Amino acid sequence: MANSINICNKLPSSAVFHSHPISLIATASHIKINNSYKELNKILYTQKEGLVTNIPELIGLTKYEPSGSKALIKESLAAINNHRVVIWGHHGVLIREKTIERCVDLLEYVEDAASFSLRALLNPKQFTGLNFVELQKSIKLYKLNPAILEVLRSK
Protein backbone atom coordinates (compact mmCIF):
# COMPACT_ATOMS: atom_id res chain seq x y z
CA MET A 1 0.00 0.00 0.00
CA ALA A 2 1.59 3.21 -1.11
CA ASN A 3 -0.27 5.27 1.49
CA SER A 4 0.49 3.10 4.51
CA ILE A 5 2.11 4.42 7.65
CA ASN A 6 4.97 2.01 8.36
CA ILE A 7 4.88 1.37 12.11
CA CYS A 8 3.49 -2.15 12.26
CA ASN A 9 6.66 -4.03 11.55
CA LYS A 10 8.05 -2.44 14.75
CA LEU A 11 5.21 -3.79 16.89
CA PRO A 12 5.52 -7.21 18.53
CA SER A 13 2.79 -9.66 17.70
CA SER A 14 2.19 -13.27 18.58
CA ALA A 15 -1.44 -13.73 17.55
CA VAL A 16 -3.05 -13.79 14.13
CA PHE A 17 -6.82 -13.77 13.83
CA HIS A 18 -9.06 -14.30 10.81
CA SER A 19 -12.78 -13.59 10.68
CA HIS A 20 -15.64 -12.84 8.28
CA PRO A 21 -17.35 -9.71 9.70
CA ILE A 22 -20.45 -9.00 7.65
CA SER A 23 -20.55 -5.19 7.82
CA LEU A 24 -16.85 -4.86 7.15
CA ILE A 25 -16.95 -7.12 4.10
CA ALA A 26 -19.98 -5.24 2.76
CA THR A 27 -18.40 -1.83 3.36
CA ALA A 28 -15.00 -2.76 1.92
CA SER A 29 -15.99 -4.95 -1.00
CA HIS A 30 -19.58 -4.45 -2.07
CA ILE A 31 -19.81 -0.67 -2.20
CA LYS A 32 -18.10 0.68 -5.29
CA ILE A 33 -16.62 3.83 -3.75
CA ASN A 34 -14.90 1.90 -0.96
CA ASN A 35 -12.80 -0.38 -3.14
CA SER A 36 -9.77 1.87 -2.65
CA TYR A 37 -7.44 2.08 0.34
CA LYS A 38 -7.98 5.80 0.81
CA GLU A 39 -11.77 5.82 0.44
CA LEU A 40 -12.23 2.81 2.70
CA ASN A 41 -10.10 4.28 5.48
CA LYS A 42 -11.75 7.67 5.12
CA ILE A 43 -15.26 6.28 5.62
CA LEU A 44 -14.28 3.91 8.46
CA TYR A 45 -12.16 6.40 10.40
CA THR A 46 -14.83 9.09 10.29
CA GLN A 47 -17.37 6.76 11.90
CA LYS A 48 -15.59 5.53 15.05
CA GLU A 49 -13.24 7.70 17.12
CA GLY A 50 -11.43 4.72 18.62
CA LEU A 51 -10.02 3.62 15.27
CA VAL A 52 -7.46 6.41 15.04
CA THR A 53 -6.16 5.71 18.54
CA ASN A 54 -6.23 1.90 18.34
CA ILE A 55 -5.19 1.42 14.71
CA PRO A 56 -3.20 4.58 13.86
CA GLU A 57 -1.43 3.00 10.89
CA LEU A 58 -4.79 2.67 9.10
CA ILE A 59 -6.35 -0.51 7.72
CA GLY A 60 -4.81 -2.43 4.85
CA LEU A 61 -6.83 -3.66 1.91
CA THR A 62 -6.01 -6.45 -0.53
CA LYS A 63 -7.70 -7.01 -3.84
CA TYR A 64 -9.75 -10.16 -4.19
CA GLU A 65 -7.80 -13.37 -4.54
CA PRO A 66 -9.27 -16.88 -4.11
CA SER A 67 -9.18 -18.32 -0.58
CA GLY A 68 -6.02 -20.29 0.12
CA SER A 69 -4.31 -19.19 -3.08
CA LYS A 70 -0.64 -18.26 -3.32
CA ALA A 71 -1.75 -14.87 -4.63
CA LEU A 72 -3.77 -14.22 -1.45
CA ILE A 73 -0.82 -15.25 0.71
CA LYS A 74 1.46 -12.89 -1.23
CA GLU A 75 -1.01 -9.98 -0.96
CA SER A 76 -1.55 -10.68 2.75
CA LEU A 77 2.16 -10.78 3.62
CA ALA A 78 2.78 -7.50 1.81
CA ALA A 79 -0.11 -5.77 3.61
CA ILE A 80 0.39 -7.24 7.10
CA ASN A 81 3.92 -5.80 7.26
CA ASN A 82 2.43 -2.29 7.36
CA HIS A 83 -0.98 -2.92 8.94
CA ARG A 84 -2.22 -4.89 11.93
CA VAL A 85 -5.65 -5.08 10.31
CA VAL A 86 -5.97 -6.15 6.68
CA ILE A 87 -9.24 -6.61 4.84
CA TRP A 88 -9.26 -9.30 2.18
CA GLY A 89 -11.45 -8.15 -0.70
CA HIS A 90 -14.80 -10.00 -0.80
CA HIS A 91 -13.69 -12.37 1.95
CA GLY A 92 -12.80 -11.28 5.47
CA VAL A 93 -10.22 -9.72 7.73
CA LEU A 94 -6.78 -10.67 9.02
CA ILE A 95 -5.59 -9.13 12.30
CA ARG A 96 -2.24 -9.47 14.05
CA GLU A 97 -1.65 -8.32 17.59
CA LYS A 98 -0.03 -9.32 20.87
CA THR A 99 -2.98 -11.46 21.98
CA ILE A 100 -6.14 -12.99 20.56
CA GLU A 101 -8.13 -10.80 22.97
CA ARG A 102 -6.53 -7.68 21.50
CA CYS A 103 -7.27 -8.97 17.98
CA VAL A 104 -10.94 -9.30 18.95
CA ASP A 105 -10.89 -5.76 20.40
CA LEU A 106 -9.61 -4.38 17.09
CA LEU A 107 -12.17 -6.41 15.18
CA GLU A 108 -14.96 -4.87 17.28
CA TYR A 109 -13.72 -1.34 16.55
CA VAL A 110 -13.51 -2.03 12.81
CA GLU A 111 -16.83 -3.88 12.59
CA ASP A 112 -18.61 -1.10 14.53
CA ALA A 113 -17.14 1.52 12.19
CA ALA A 114 -18.23 -0.55 9.19
CA SER A 115 -21.75 -0.90 10.57
CA PHE A 116 -21.98 2.88 11.05
CA SER A 117 -20.45 3.36 7.58
CA LEU A 118 -23.16 1.29 5.92
CA ARG A 119 -25.84 3.38 7.62
CA ALA A 120 -24.07 6.61 6.64
CA LEU A 121 -23.72 5.52 3.03
CA LEU A 122 -27.37 4.47 2.81
CA ASN A 123 -28.66 7.64 4.44
CA PRO A 124 -25.94 10.33 4.19
CA LYS A 125 -28.20 13.17 5.32
CA GLN A 126 -28.74 11.52 8.72
CA PHE A 127 -25.17 10.43 9.56
CA THR A 128 -22.31 12.90 9.71
CA GLY A 129 -19.45 11.05 11.41
CA LEU A 130 -16.27 12.70 12.65
CA ASN A 131 -14.95 15.59 10.62
CA PHE A 132 -11.33 16.30 9.74
CA VAL A 133 -10.84 18.77 12.62
CA GLU A 134 -12.17 16.24 15.13
CA LEU A 135 -9.79 13.58 13.83
CA GLN A 136 -6.94 16.09 14.00
CA LYS A 137 -7.64 16.68 17.70
CA SER A 138 -7.29 12.97 18.54
CA ILE A 139 -4.13 12.63 16.48
CA LYS A 140 -2.57 15.63 18.21
CA LEU A 141 -3.71 14.57 21.71
CA TYR A 142 -2.31 11.05 21.40
CA LYS A 143 0.81 12.20 19.48
CA LEU A 144 0.04 9.94 16.53
CA ASN A 145 1.70 10.16 13.14
CA PRO A 146 0.14 13.18 11.35
CA ALA A 147 0.64 11.40 7.99
CA ILE A 148 -2.62 9.61 8.79
CA LEU A 149 -4.43 12.84 8.05
CA GLU A 150 -3.24 12.87 4.44
CA VAL A 151 -5.10 9.64 3.78
CA LEU A 152 -8.17 10.75 5.67
CA ARG A 153 -8.32 14.28 4.20
CA SER A 154 -11.46 15.02 2.21
CA LYS A 155 -11.16 15.54 -1.54
pLDDT (tens digit per residue) in 21-68: 999 998 888 776 666 888 899 889 999 888 999 999 999 999 889 988
Average of pLDDT values for 1-29?
72
C-alpha–C-alpha distance, residues 117 and 132, integer Å: 16
Q: Can you give the pTM of this predicted structure? A: 0.82
Q: Are strands 60-62 and 15-19 parallel, antiparallel or unpaired?
A: unpaired
The count of structural domains within the chain is: 1
Taking 70 as the threshold, does the pLDDT of residue 10 lie above it?
A: no
Domain encompassing residue 112: 8-152
C-alpha–C-alpha distance, residues 122 and 92, integer Å: 22
Tally the C-alpha atoms within 13 A of residue 110's C-alpha that lie toward its C-beta. Answer: 32
At 38, which CATH number? 3.40.225.10
Domain assignment present for 90 = yes
